[in-house]
Amino acid sequence: MDTFTVRDLREHTGQLIHDAEAGKLSLITKHGRPVFLAVPFSEDLLELGLRQVLAAKLYQENAFSLEKAAKLAGISLEAFIEVLGSMGIPVVSYSASELQRELKNFE
């Protein structure tokens, strides 16, 4: 496993990518403290549980729709909604003005 500082990333991004392609983990640090772990992306990684977490994160960041995220997770829409609930991620997210408008329409 290689270790890169945040500063190293500017100059050695190619090495980080090369390590990932070779299946190696890399630790990224800032001021000597671990910030994140670069893990090579693989089908095995997805099958061992990352698929649902990745799908939930992409949904939370509005990168994927609920349906698309459930498909990536490899589970039914209902099961994915349960996963989101267990992770504390709201399925429906309204701004205050949107909520007021919806409530007004409901009346």
The predicted-structure confidence for 49-70, as pLDDT tens digits, reads as follows 888 988 998 999 889 999 999 9
* CA neighbours closer than 13 Å in the CB half-sphere of residue 77: 5
What the block records as the tokens of 99 is 């909520």
Indicate the pTM of the whole model.
0.61
Q: Which has the closest alpha carbon to 15: 4, 29, 31?
A: 4
What does the pLDDT read at residue 1?
Answer: 81
